[in-house]
A and B are shown apart, each in its own frame.
Chain A
Amino acid sequence: MDKLNENVREKKEIKLDNIDVTPILAALIIGFLVVAIFVILRRRSTGRRDFLLTGLTEAGKSAIFMQLVHNKFSETFTSIKENVGEYRSGHVAGRLVDIPGHYRVRDKCFELYKRNAKGIIFVVDSVTVQKDIRDVADTLYTILADSATQPCSVLILCNKQDLTAAKSSQVIKSLLEKELNTVRDTRSRKLQSVGDDEVNKPITLGKMGRDFEFAHITQNVQFFESSAKDKQLSDLTDWIDRMLY
């Protein structure tokens, strides 16, 4: 027993003397790297870097998505799920999310992505906008009044300009302002009563007592015309690039 003990002690002494520092250092470095990568990844995922394509169904969101992400025009149907893709321009990249426009799915889907949104692209069908103005304005109001979208920039994209019956962006802007004024009126009283909820509190848009104008709200709203079919999306890509740089 004694012998054995001595042996062990001897061995230990030897080891302590010429201890090798490199594996410990390597372990430390690797550990640090893992932590650093983890932190970076988390910051990347929590930061606002998404661009959301929203709007009513059949406005052309999925077509625009395919144009921007995969640079091809393909036929599309009503989306059941969101499309997520990487948008690249030069050396910068952002995530593009195509939110389904159908009533049944869009609110839940929007809820999921709204906290990561850097910019919101609201796609409007320029042909049917006059007919569907109530639905368009209602959807837009829901998006603009959400407290999570206040830091976002908003682009209202008047799509399908290749068709002859398409309204110009100026007309659509005035139509929307007029209609949003009414929507604010029908909603305004409800908004005040939900005061107990800090986080999800919807915000009253514009200046009270005055007609609604896009210039009054906190988000920076811009209007562009486009056509996914004719690949006239340069305004949109410029806008996204400006936000990414």
Chain B
Amino acid sequence: MLDFVVIFTKGGVVLWNSNESGKNYASCINSLIRGVILEERNTESKYFEEDHLAVQFKLDNELDVVYAAVFQKVIKLNYLDNFLADMQSAFQEKFSGIAAQERLAIDYEFEQEFRMVLSAAEEASAKQGKAPKAMRSYNESQKSKKTVASMMHDDKKATNTTEKRVNIQESPPASKSQPASPPRTNEDIIQENRRKLREKLTPTKKAAVDVKPTKQSATDREKEKAGKKPRVWDLGGNSKDAVLLDRSKDAPEDVQLQSINNELVGTMQGRIRDLDVESDSDGADSEASDDSEQEEKQQQQQHQRRTQQQQRNQRKAKSGGLLSYFKGIVGAKTMTLNDLQPALEKMRDHLISKNVASEIAAKLCDSVATSLDGKQMGTFDSIANMVKEALTQSLVRILSPKRRIDIIRDALESKRNGRPYTIIFCGVNGVGKSTNLAKICFWLIENDFNVLIAACDTFRAGAVEQLRTHTRHLNALHPAEKHKQRTMVQLYEKGYGKDAAGIAMEAIKYAHDTKVDVVLVDTAGRMQDNEPLMRSLSKLIKVNNPDLVLFVGEALVGNEAVDQLVKFNQSLADYSSNENPHIIDGIVLTKFDTIDDKVGAAISMTYITGQPIVFVGTGQTYADLKAINVNAVVNSLMK
């Protein structure tokens, strides 16, 4: 039944295994480790599937060992939980006496115990399977309970239905009020009230309203006199208006207006800077002196903080070394889940107060609990400290990217291959997709890539014009003369109401033909529940096969982050008919300057997708784009 049972250390060394079929299951176990254990997802049932295989596993924190059993997915094995637990106790009984240094050296003879445990577990499950077939006694039968129980049952039913009714009555207004409330902010209401008040107080207004019709009627009379005339709209699209309407060429006065921000040029060269490093401007820039002083102070403070931290770390290391001599002498205690519960509760609340989505906070704490359960605790360790340490570790692990992110390197590579590097931006409305697209565009230009922006937001009024303005700005900052007569930014637009996927495709083709290095595709913002729009996004991605799909999310978001990302990922996977669909590759976290130390959204988003935060938007100018600094974020979370 079990194809493969293995016991391996957390360091990855196989201690013992039993292989029934003779196949190699290494890749299956490796994807278990990478997909579940390293992602801190070991709470959601210790079960993992790959192809036709399923793995059930158990972590042993006392010996730092993992037990895993691989079996065919189609077979339902209900005794595995008990079996793994029994195997753990048998293994511990036999080998827990071995010193830590010797654990890897010896050969483990476990075959006999394994057979015993396995047959016991199989027997037990077989018994269980057979048991219901035995005849029931009268006492067990339903009839014996009927007289008394039937009444109670009815009662329960009644209460249930009433509850349901209450729910039904309550839910509709709640769902209605939710979508209505966000646009009506306090200010709106106040203004509305004021307007009403004004109307009441000033009767002259009414008079004015009354006056209007008379005026209109007067003009009407005039019109009637002159006979019917064709109505002429301003800028209605005559051939005469073409000159005025044509915005494809920059009017010279526009360019002059826009060249104010020139000091930004050159600040974003090279890789994106880490978050905690203040953007230090060149000395040539004439910035206010107090500004630079502040910066210096901040730098000093940072420096001090860092050295303090290091000292603390060193001290910690020293004390750890000292204490470890005693640890061997004084007896150690093992932690149980019950001991951990209060500390975990506190940590969960703390995380939620830092704006981590509550679901994610709970999952994280569960994961920490499983990683600490059964661990040896020294006499000098307190549970709160252990929990904090473990949580910090798993937060760092979550935020650390699971692959290399170096957009410049990859863009260079595709430049060498003679094709454009394509990035698609998606996200809900109003999170800053276009703004951050412009920032990223600026960063790419500073690093000597020329960029084509594809305006695929064919829906929102003014979206194309916004991008055009950005293009003009960026071209003013980096004129073609400075870059060997290359136009650094171009906009590919086809107006409103067209199919976004088609425009993106044409844009990429155009970029390919004109040797543009990078294509940035701006899509329309969409709510995650809007199925037709999600379908079209999925189509856009499927058709164009971009190198990178970035999800733009704002750092202000709390519990909503989970819903947004899960649904985006889900619909990208569902609606694309591809075998392995292209889902979100990375996250752009915007409005990071507005949240102080409540950086929980970063954790929520990375936890759900398992993808890194590639860019962080930290302000209004083109230069306010940073890379995330894992340690800084974790520090402000654990503060």
Residues of B within 8 A of A66 (CB): 13, 104
| Contact of A80 with B38 at beta-carbon distance under 8 Å, contacts A66-B13, A134-B409, A193-B277 already known | yes
Per the 8 Å Cβ criterion, residues 102-146 of A in contact with B are: 102-105, 107-108, 134-135, 138
B11, B37, B318, B398: residue with the most chain A Cβ atoms closer than 10 Å: B11
- Mark interface residues in A66-87 (1 if CB within 8 Å of B CB, else 0): 1001101011111111110110
Q: In this assembly, does A12 line the interface, its C-beta being within 8 Å of a C-beta of chain B?
A: no
Closest Cβ of chain A: how far from B612's Cβ, in Å?
Answer: 9
| Contact of A183 with B409 at beta-carbon distance under 8 Å, contacts A77-B26, A102-B402 already known | yes
How distant is the Cα of A77 from the Cα of B409 in the complex, in angstroms? 30
Contact indicator A80/B11 (Cβ below 8 Å): yes
The interface stretch among A19-27, A156-164, A184-192, A211-219 is A184-192
Contact indicator B280/A193 (Cβ below 8 Å): yes
How distant is the Cα of A140 from the Cα of B354 in the complex, in angstroms? 36
Contact indicator A102/B11 (Cβ below 8 Å): no
Contact indicator B310/A199 (Cβ below 8 Å): yes
Closest Cβ of chain B: how far from A137's Cβ, in Å?
Answer: 9
Q: In this assembly, does B64 line the interface, its C-beta being within 8 Å of a C-beta of chain A?
A: yes
Q: In this assembly, does A234 line the interface, its C-beta being within 8 Å of a C-beta of chain B?
A: no
Residues of B within 8 A of A108 (CB): 393, 396-397, 400
| Contact of A102 with B404 at beta-carbon distance under 8 Å, contacts A190-B271, A190-B273, A193-B270 already known | no
- Mark interface residues in B26-42 (1 if CB within 8 Å of A CB, else 0): 10011001100111000
B9, B303, B398, B402: residue with the most chain A Cβ atoms closer than 10 Å: B9
Partner of A42, one of B104, B321, B396: B321
Contact indicator A81/B321 (Cβ below 8 Å): no
Closest Cβ of chain B: how far from A181's Cβ, in Å?
Answer: 12
Contact indicator A80/B37 (Cβ below 8 Å): yes
Q: In this assembly, does B403 line the interface, its C-beta being within 8 Å of a C-beta of chain A?
A: yes
Query: Closest residue of chain B to A138, judged by CB?
Result: B404
Contact indicator B12/A80 (Cβ below 8 Å): yes
Contact indicator B400/A107 (Cβ below 8 Å): yes
Q: In this assembly, does B306 line the interface, its C-beta being within 8 Å of a C-beta of chain A?
A: yes
Contact indicator A103/B403 (Cβ below 8 Å): yes
Closest Cβ of chain B: how far from A78's Cβ, in Å?
Answer: 4
Q: How many A-B residue contacts, CB cutoff 8 Å?
A: 136
Query: Closest residue of chain A to B16, judged by CB?
Result: A74
Closest Cβ of chain A: how far from B433's Cβ, in Å?
Answer: 26
How distant is the Cα of A200 from the Cα of B306 in the complex, in angstroms? 10
Residues of A within 8 A of B310 (CB): 199
Residues of B within 8 A of A82 (CB): 11
Residues of B within 8 A of A182 (CB): 409, 412
Q: In this assembly, does A194 line the interface, its C-beta being within 8 Å of a C-beta of chain B?
A: yes
| Contact of A102 with B34 at beta-carbon distance under 8 Å, contacts A70-B104, A199-B307 already known | yes
Contact indicator B269/A189 (Cβ below 8 Å): yes
How distant is the Cα of A183 from the Cα of B413 in the complex, in angstroms? 12
Q: In this assembly, does B71 line the interface, its C-beta being within 8 Å of a C-beta of chain A?
A: no
Closest Cβ of chain A: how far from B614's Cβ, in Å?
Answer: 14
Contact indicator B409/A194 (Cβ below 8 Å): no
Contact indicator B404/A83 (Cβ below 8 Å): no
Q: In this assembly, does A50 line the interface, its C-beta being within 8 Å of a C-beta of chain B?
A: no
Q: In this assembly, does B406 line the interface, its C-beta being within 8 Å of a C-beta of chain A?
A: yes
How distant is the Cα of A12 from the Cα of B400 in the complex, in angstroms? 71
Contact indicator A81/B11 (Cβ below 8 Å): yes
Partner of B299, one of A186, A196, A199: A196
Residues of B within 8 A of A76 (CB): 8, 12-14
Q: In this assembly, does A62 line the interface, its C-beta being within 8 Å of a C-beta of chain B?
A: yes
Residues of B within 8 A of A200 (CB): 306
Residues of A within 8 A of B104 (CB): 66, 69-70, 83, 85
Partner of A190, one of B38, B270, B302, B402: B270
Q: In this assembly, does A197 line the interface, its C-beta being within 8 Å of a C-beta of chain B?
A: yes
Closest Cβ of chain B: how far from A215's Cβ, in Å?
Answer: 24
- Mark interface residues in A146-171 (1 if CB within 8 Å of B CB, else 0): 00000000000000000000000000
Closest Cβ of chain B: how far from A161's Cβ, in Å?
Answer: 20
Residues of B within 8 A of A55 (CB): none
Per the 8 Å Cβ criterion, residues 296-322 of B in contact with A are: 299, 302-303, 306-307, 310, 318, 321
Query: Closest residue of chain B to A142, judged by CB?
Result: B404
Q: In this assembly, does B190 line the interface, its C-beta being within 8 Å of a C-beta of chain A?
A: no
| Contact of A75 with B26 at beta-carbon distance under 8 Å, contacts A80-B37, A82-B11 already known | yes
How distant is the Cα of A107 from the Cα of B404 in the complex, in angstroms? 12
Residues of A within 8 A of B37 (CB): 80
Partner of B101, one of A58, A85, A105, A187: A85
Residues of A within 8 A of B397 (CB): 104-105, 108
Contact indicator A187/B271 (Cβ below 8 Å): yes
| Contact of A77 with B273 at beta-carbon distance under 8 Å, contacts A69-B104, A83-B11 already known | no
Per the 8 Å Cβ criterion, residues 4-27 of B in contact with A are: 8-14, 17, 26
List the 10 closest pairs (A to B, CB-CB), nearest first: A189-B270, A79-B12, A83-B11, A190-B271, A81-B10, A75-B14, A80-B10, A78-B33, A190-B270, A70-B105
Residues of B within 8 A of A (CB): 8-14, 17, 26, 29-30, 33-34, 37-39, 64, 66, 101, 104-105, 269-274, 277, 280, 299, 302-303, 306-307, 310, 318, 321, 393, 396-398, 400-404, 406, 408-410, 412-413
Contacts A41-B321, A105-B397, A197-B302 known; list 19 others, CB within 8 Å. Answer: A66-B104, A69-B105, A77-B8, A77-B33, A78-B34, A80-B10, A83-B11, A83-B13, A85-B101, A86-B101, A104-B398, A105-B38, A105-B400, A108-B393, A134-B406, A135-B403, A193-B273, A195-B280, A196-B302
A–B pairs, 20, beta carbons within 8 Å: A62-B12, A74-B13, A77-B29, A80-B37, A83-B12, A102-B402, A103-B401, A103-B402, A134-B404, A134-B406, A134-B413, A182-B412, A186-B271, A186-B408, A193-B270, A193-B273, A196-B303, A198-B303, A199-B306, A199-B307
